[in-house]
Amino acid sequence: MTRAANLTVPERKALRLTVLCLALLGGAGLFLGYPNPVYQLPPLILLFPACLATFSRIMPGAKSCFHASWLCATIGNSACLYWISVPMHDFGMVPWALTLPAVLALGAYLGLYGAIFSLLYRLFRRRLPFFAALFLVCPLWAALDIAKEYLFTGFPWVSLATAFIAWPDWARAASVVGSSVLSGLFALAAVALAEARPVRLSPGLAPSPAPKKRQRVCAAIAVATLLAIYACAFIPPLPQGRSVTVGLVQGNVDQNQKWDPAYQIGTLSRYLTLSEWTVNPSMGRLAKPVDVILWPETAMPFYLETNAPLADRLAAFSTRFSVPILFGAPGRSDRPDGTGFYNRMWLLTPDSSGRQFYDKGHLVPFGEYVPLNIPLPFLEYLLQGLDFIPGASQAPLRTGDLALGGLICYEAIFPGLARQRVADGANLLVNISNDAWFGNTSAPVQHLHLTAMRAIEQGRYVARATNTGISAVITPRGEIAARGSLFKAEALAGTARLVTGLTVYHRIGPFLLWGCLILTFAAVAWSLRSRRRGGE
């Protein structure tokens, strides 16, 4: 490959045009492959890793490779996360023009992972045997996905594997290897396809053409990888226990009124009325009453500890219809250093055995607390004067033979949290959320698909209730068995089954992920010590 300093002016112009086209192609593939407001076609997301790998092949230097890949990944991630601007504008009163830097900043941060992938693949490709470098694509991509889950509190929102929830048979392999390694396998297939095609550039820019035999082997690797992924669609589900009917209630409460004390009684009445449709046979909505009712995150905008009249109405409804109610409401407790506020999931049971609750452990930075007390005026409305603290207990909430593993809102995007709930004994995962902040955008669908990935990984049904949608019951195969509408007050019911078995991923997940991290670090260390191979 010709060094940048040796390129002629026409070659530099050709290179810049190629970089721009590839960056737009890869970014568009990420956007159109992931849930979006235009049209989703999951396989298009494979253009993203393919373009990153192409930068590794054609760019004259490491610096230019990093910058080109960062541009591509920033475009794609910013497009997928365009909805970040909606709560800033609608609730934080920030002008639209000023929301753009926030979207681009988050997109650029996530874009760093794509740039690092391209840079390291370039290093592997030049310092290691070709097919060793190619097969390192999977653990490298998985390791970067794992880093996104943990660094800076974590934000693993956009992933290759989750795009295929729209075609759930292609996501079923997550029950064996998890979403991070599955994303790595999709990346391997995409990069192998890219390597199977010669790069067509001007003679001064194009790398040495790969042998025809290598191109054919790369194509075979890509096809074999995709067939192996799809073969997991035929893995039988875990043994399932009894079926339960879950009532899901979304109140569609206006976010601008929700925290107004004058609307507290009306909000409670709305949820009780909608819930009665699912439990009162005389209203004729269902063939049989539900076994448990789910309301969304912070469905009740008051403290049960201090508002006895409204809390008593809730308990009376549960007792009258002999049905447990699981719902979100803020919690508080007095501590030596002052009052602590929690984003809490409550469970009321009809036997009056006391209230159980789970406090959200993984909070949203700038949405539920302000890191380092950074002064940002537009957050005042979003936080409602509350600065939540994380909870400690992760035990399932239990009633009868139900062991409900709680995931509040944002927690459903973290594979490790769902795994911990199952390890603690949950036989049904529940996700309560409030996506009203994001309006009629792609965020509710993206959030739903991320939650569905947790169902596949852990082999559990997931019951999900949200304020404005999308409420759903998700099967362990990632299929949406019951689904609500967006921005509609409604009650629906879905059938779930209680599962106690463990998936392959649940058993080997930590070892698999550590293996990807160790293998990636070892490959980087070995590559840095090796001499550059000729002919590439």
pLDDT of residue 516: 95
Q: Give me the mean pLDDT over the 281-295 stretch.
A: 72
Nearest residue to 460 via CA among 244, 245, 240? 240
Which residue among 72, 232, 360, 368 is the active-site one? Answer: 360
Q: Give me the mean pLDDT over the 1-5 stretch.
A: 54
C-alpha span between 455 and 476 (Å, rounded): 5
pLDDT of residue 189: 97
pTM over cut 0.75: yes
Q: What sections of 399-479 are H helices per DSSP?
A: 415-423, 443-458
Q: Give me the mean pLDDT over the 259-280 stretch.
A: 84
Q: Give me the mean pLDDT over the 320-330 stretch.
A: 90
Question: In sequence order, what DSSP letters do the residues of 364-403 get, joined into one string?
Answer: PBTTTB-GGG---TTHHHHHTT---------PPEEETTEE
Taking only the tens place, the pLDDT of each residue in 386-400 is 577 888 878 899 998
Asked about 195 being catalytic, the answer comes back as no
With the C-alpha atoms ordered 315, 319, 321, 326, is the resulting torsion angle positive or negative?
Answer: positive
| 216: enclosing H helix or E strand | helix 212-231
**Does residue 516 or residue 322 have the better pLDDT?**
516
Asked about 297 being catalytic, the answer comes back as yes
Instruction: Identify the band that residue 198 occupies on the pLDDT scale cut at 50, 70 and 90.
Output: confident
pLDDT of residue 278: 81
pLDDT of residue 1: 47
Which residue among 149, 276, 297, 457 is the active-site one? Answer: 297
pLDDT of residue 214: 86
Taking only the tens place, the pLDDT of each residue in 35-86 is 999 999 999 999 999 999 999 998 888 999 999 999 999 999 999 999 999 8
Nearest residue to 264 via CA among 315, 326, 320, 313? 313
Nearest residue to 119 via CA among 56, 59, 49? 56
pLDDT of residue 191: 97
With the C-alpha atoms ordered 10, 12, 13, 15, is the resulting torsion angle positive or negative?
Answer: positive
Which residue among 51, 218, 409, 516 is the active-site one? Answer: 409
Omega of the bond leading into 58 within 30 degrees of 0 (cis): no
Asked about 212 being catalytic, the answer comes back as no
What percent of the chain clears pLDDT 70, i.e. is strictly above it? 88
Contacts of residue 258, defined as CB under 8 A and 6 or more positions apart, other chains included, come to 267, 298, 301
Instruction: Identify the band that residue 94 occupies on the pLDDT scale cut at 50, 70 and 90.
Output: confident
Q: Give me the mean pLDDT over the 266-288 stretch.
A: 76
The answer on pLDDT for 369 being more than 80 is: no
